[in-house]
Chain A
Amino acid sequence: MKALKWTGGILLIIIAVALLVSSISAQSDLEGLLKRLDAQNVVDLNPKMLADRDRVLESHLDNDRDRTLRNLDRYLERHGDLLLLEGTHALELTAFRSGPIVSSVGVLLMAIGAALLATVISGKAAVRKAALYAVGIVLLYVCVYVVEQIAGTSSMLVTVLKKGAIYALLAVSMNLLNGFTGLFSLGQAGFMLIGAYTYAMFTIPVESRGQVYQYYAGGLIQFQMPVILAIILAGLVAAFFAYLIGLPVLRLKSDYLAIATLGFAEIIRAVFQYDGLGPITNGSNLLRRFTTFNSALFPFIAVGICILLIILLINSTYGRAFKAIRDDEVAAEAMGINLPQHKSMAFVISCFFAGVGGALLAMYQTTVQASAFKASMTYEILLIVVLGGMGSVSGSVIASFLFIAASEWWLRFLDAETVIGTFEVPLLRSGFRMVVFSVIVMLVVLFYQKGIMGDRELSLDMFKRNGKEKRGGRNA
């Protein structure tokens, strides 16, 4: 009986995923779908059919959904008997017709159904919890997708979501080192730069290299890597540099470590602009034309996987060792924790994800230039970590979306000179945004020192025990 219900739940999930995937692919690939409907290539032989189909595609290209659907209906009505309208084709067609929102909601309902089923059959609290988290994550991704479909990929909201997601990864990776292991490093921008450059250098199409590396005869690298591999390589290269730098630098404590890593980031920035390395790094010129992403789902999925890995790490026995080092190095060592080994591990892992974040940032920006990776970028991320709470992953994630939204969007109006009637609003001019932003940050740090989350995490238990819980657990 139990097995039956499990199978049911799993089937629902599989159907949900299949539906979502087919819905997404149907949206972007109507032409392919129409070709698949027509397995015998009758359209090419029948001019009338061809005209009807072209009308559908034309209106689709114009982004006129209503007209597309009308034309599609007419096409199917007139020539339906010649087309394959069963099985997966029918499913794809339905997905296209019902549109992204309806199919996303459908997916969501199915996910909830699957979770409820799992909850009902298994009395285990852990399973119930995992099911709820799974629903939460599905909900989040569906929301992102729907928002993107409604607001458009290049709208401000989606831009903030994309950048916010990438900054969330950067902040969480910095938090892993500064908040969870207690190593105060300021080298984030340097490792991001390494990641961004590694990614960019290896994904520029061979035919574009002549233009990008115009001063260096097309550069040395003459091949293109797949995106996923290049992103992982970006992390690995950053991690490798972190390992080398960590050997001498991790012997230093607190302030000295911060200064040394800050210095390293500045040196890296200079090295990447060095003319002698031009055939590889393009000197101080832009790197461009590498593969980027359109949909916000890409950074959300990539960042989601990375943050999931970091959370798994933090809650593993190694993560506990990191936290022990943060709390008391002497005691940690007396408990048999090898300090140099574990510090190096934390540093390398943090920098791996900084490198991956740098690669995603490069994709988001579509161009990369070493001079942009200044120390101020590290401070931005440090600010997010502090605002969110040192030692809280969810705090970092929340804070990065808030930070990006505020700095890119909500506070933009402060930069515009505004005239109401004949009254010119004082102070509002270019640059004022940063002043206000700094004041907000100061207020937060003065009156809300622990940040948004302190060292707690956002979880289901938090809502359940709200109020009952004594706030005694937050002493310094």
Chain B
Amino acid sequence: MPDHVLELKNLTMQFGGVVAVNDLSMNIDKGEIVALIGPNGAGKTTAFNCVTGVYAPTNGQVLFGGKVIVSNHPSGKMAKMYLGADKDKFHQVAAPSPDKITRMGIARTFQNIRLFKTQTVFDNVLIATHLHRTSNLFTAVLRLNSSEEKSMREKAMHLLDIVGLADAKDEKATSLPYGKQRRLEIARALATDPTLLLLDEPAAGMNPQETDDLSEFIVELRNRFDLTIFLIEHHMALVMDISDRIYVIDFGKLIASGLPQEVRDDPEVITAYLGVDED
């Protein structure tokens, strides 16, 4: 059996006495679109942040393509305070910074859009091609890297074309409407050449029409770039529409997982999250 693209093992994140993510284990296979859902404050974004290196988890491991990229166990003061399980399961410690994780092939977007505010739409995407540079400081300053610079620009333009922002390339990023800013964030993430794309509430603030477009767009991206997509979303219609599988967490704990239909009918999910049976 081939390795999972992403695998979380007993991931726990504890802030002081609060366990934000509690013993979360899950996996995503190549080409899948998997959604992580749960009520507000359930710990979804915290789980994302553990995967992308923003936080080092208190306990547990993250495996990417079968290789351990993040691993930790409670130590020091946390060893006494630790409230979760599997305290002594992982001995390895690995906590790479977010830029290293991005270089491995995991790109993300942010729940509260984080574009480079003073830059143009084009430059926002162009910046994300920086990590694969082969030029050093001197060749870049003396313009000895013009062919690389050209290919960077072509790639950025190509991605803007795909997300439909080519016409707005010279506008300031923050002057775009909300929906387009989200698309720009996706284009920027794609410019880092990811194999796994993490989308944090991509439909937040979008109207129904924009949301519909987004569903199609995400599926198209997956097919076109041969991506695996892991998303957090509140918008049930979108989640049910495009997800291959769904994980549901509440208070940091996994309460259900499976195909969209199974999750939708799970009584525990209904009580914890959906409340009513239809969106």
- Of B35-43, B137-145, B271-279, the segment with at least 4 beta carbons within 8 Å of chain A is B137-145
The yes or no answer to A334 lying at the interface (CB within 8 A) is yes
- Closest Cβ of chain B: how far from A332's Cβ, in Å? 8
The yes or no answer to A466 lying at the interface (CB within 8 A) is no
- Of B72-80, B127-135, B207-215, B246-254, the segment with at least 4 beta carbons within 8 Å of chain A is B127-135
Q: Tell me, in angstroms, the Cα distance from A331 to B128 when the chains sit together.
A: 10
B127, A475: Cβ atoms closer than 8 Å: no
* A345/B131 contact (C-beta < 8 A), A328-B116, A455-B118 known: no
The yes or no answer to A307 lying at the interface (CB within 8 A) is no
8 Å CB contact of B141 from A312, A330, A391: A312
Q: Tell me, in angstroms, the Cα distance from A466 to B132 when the chains sit together.
A: 38
Interface string of A328-367 (1 = CB under 8 A from B): 1011111111110000010000000000000000000000
A331, B133: Cβ atoms closer than 8 Å: no
A residues near B (Cβ < 8 Å) are 309, 312-313, 316-318, 320-321, 323-324, 326-328, 330-339, 345, 391, 455, 472-473, 475
Chain B positions within 8 Å of A339 at CB level: 97, 99
Chain B positions within 8 Å of A336 at CB level: 99, 102-103, 128, 130-132, 192
A317, B128: Cβ atoms closer than 8 Å: no
Additional A-B contact list (6), CB under 8 Å, known A313-B140, A316-B141, A334-B99: A312-B143, A317-B135, A323-B119, A330-B114, A336-B131, A473-B175
8 Å CB contact of A327 from B100, B118, B131: B118
- Closest Cβ of chain B: how far from A383's Cβ, in Å? 22
- Closest Cβ of chain B: how far from A34's Cβ, in Å? 43
A317, B140: Cβ atoms closer than 8 Å: yes
The 6 listed contacts between A and B (C-beta, < 8 Å) are A312-B141, A313-B140, A317-B140, A321-B127, A323-B118, A336-B103
Chain B positions within 8 Å of A312 at CB level: 141-143
Chain A positions within 8 Å of B149 at CB level: 316-317
8 Å CB contact of B130 from A320, A345, A472: A320
A318, B119: Cβ atoms closer than 8 Å: no
A323, B116: Cβ atoms closer than 8 Å: yes
Q: Tell me, in angstroms, the Cα distance from A337 to B126 when the chains sit together.
A: 12
Which residues between 84 and 137 of chain B lie within 8 Å of chain A, taking CB atoms? 97-100, 102-103, 107-108, 110, 114-119, 123, 126-133, 135, 137
* A313/B174 contact (C-beta < 8 A), A330-B114, A339-B99 known: no
- Closest Cβ of chain B: how far from A36's Cβ, in Å? 38
Interface string of B7-41 (1 = CB under 8 A from A): 00000000000000000000000000000000000
> In chain A, what residue has the closest Cβ to B131?
A336
Which residues between 190 and 225 of chain B lie within 8 Å of chain A, taking CB atoms? 191-192
The yes or no answer to B54 lying at the interface (CB within 8 A) is yes
Most B-side CB within 10 Å, residue of A317, A318, A333: A317
B141, A309: Cβ atoms closer than 8 Å: yes
> In chain A, what residue has the closest Cβ to B191?
A335
Chain B positions within 8 Å of A318 at CB level: 130, 137, 140-141
- Closest Cβ of chain B: how far from A130's Cβ, in Å? 12
A317, B103: Cβ atoms closer than 8 Å: no
B102, A328: Cβ atoms closer than 8 Å: no
Q: Tell me, in angstroms, the Cα distance from A455 to B118 when the chains sit together.
A: 9
A324, B114: Cβ atoms closer than 8 Å: no
A337, B174: Cβ atoms closer than 8 Å: no
The yes or no answer to B61 lying at the interface (CB within 8 A) is no
* A334/B52 contact (C-beta < 8 A), A339-B99, A473-B175 known: yes
B128, A345: Cβ atoms closer than 8 Å: no
Chain B positions within 8 Å of A330 at CB level: 54, 98, 110, 114
B102, A334: Cβ atoms closer than 8 Å: yes
B116, A313: Cβ atoms closer than 8 Å: no
Q: Tell me, in angstroms, the Cα distance from A221 to B214 when the chains sit together.
A: 70
- Closest Cβ of chain B: how far from A175's Cβ, in Å? 14
Q: Tell me, in angstroms, the Cα distance from A38 to B62 when the chains sit together.
A: 85
B118, A333: Cβ atoms closer than 8 Å: no
B98, A333: Cβ atoms closer than 8 Å: yes
The yes or no answer to B172 lying at the interface (CB within 8 A) is yes
* A333/B99 contact (C-beta < 8 A), A316-B140, A316-B141 known: yes
* A321/B108 contact (C-beta < 8 A), A333-B99, A335-B188, A391-B118 known: no
Chain A positions within 8 Å of B107 at CB level: 334
A320, B97: Cβ atoms closer than 8 Å: no
The yes or no answer to B70 lying at the interface (CB within 8 A) is no
The yes or no answer to B152 lying at the interface (CB within 8 A) is yes
Chain B positions within 8 Å of A323 at CB level: 116, 118-119, 123, 127
Chain B positions within 8 Å of A475 at CB level: 172, 174
- Closest Cβ of chain B: how far from A453's Cβ, in Å? 14
The 7 closest A-B pairs by CB, nearest first: A336-B131, A336-B102, A331-B114, A327-B116, A316-B140, A333-B98, A335-B128
> In chain A, what residue has the closest Cβ to B198?
A334
Chain B positions within 8 Å of A333 at CB level: 97-99, 102
B131, A335: Cβ atoms closer than 8 Å: yes
B127, A335: Cβ atoms closer than 8 Å: yes
- Closest Cβ of chain A: how far from B277's Cβ, in Å? 37
- Closest Cβ of chain A: how far from B188's Cβ, in Å? 7
Q: Tell me, in angstroms, the Cα distance from A391 to B119 when the chains sit together.
A: 12
- Closest Cβ of chain B: how far from A415's Cβ, in Å? 40
Chain B positions within 8 Å of A331 at CB level: 110, 114-116
- Closest Cβ of chain A: how far from B110's Cβ, in Å? 7
Chain B positions within 8 Å of A328 at CB level: 114-117
B118, A338: Cβ atoms closer than 8 Å: no
A313, B128: Cβ atoms closer than 8 Å: no
- Closest Cβ of chain A: how far from B210's Cβ, in Å? 22
Q: Tell me, in angstroms, the Cα distance from A98 to B118 when the chains sit together.
A: 51
Q: Tell me, in angstroms, the Cα distance from A331 to B115 when the chains sit together.
A: 7
- Closest Cβ of chain A: how far from B121's Cβ, in Å? 12
Most B-side CB within 10 Å, residue of A309, A313, A327: A327
Chain A positions within 8 Å of B128 at CB level: 335-336
Q: Tell me, in angstroms, the Cα distance from A328 to B135 when the chains sit together.
A: 24
Q: Tell me, in angstroms, the Cα distance from A339 to B99 when the chains sit together.
A: 8
Chain B positions within 8 Å of A335 at CB level: 99, 102, 127-128, 130-131, 188-189, 191-192
Q: Tell me, in angstroms, the Cα distance from A473 to B143 when the chains sit together.
A: 28
B175, A472: Cβ atoms closer than 8 Å: yes
> In chain B, what residue has the closest Cβ to A323?
B119
Chain A positions within 8 Å of B127 at CB level: 320-321, 323-324, 332, 335, 337
Chain A positions within 8 Å of B110 at CB level: 330-331, 334
B175, A337: Cβ atoms closer than 8 Å: no
8 Å CB contact of A337 from B114, B119, B130: B130
- Closest Cβ of chain A: how far from B140's Cβ, in Å? 4
Q: Tell me, in angstroms, the Cα distance from A334 to B129 when the chains sit together.
A: 12
> In chain A, what residue has the closest Cβ to B148?
A317
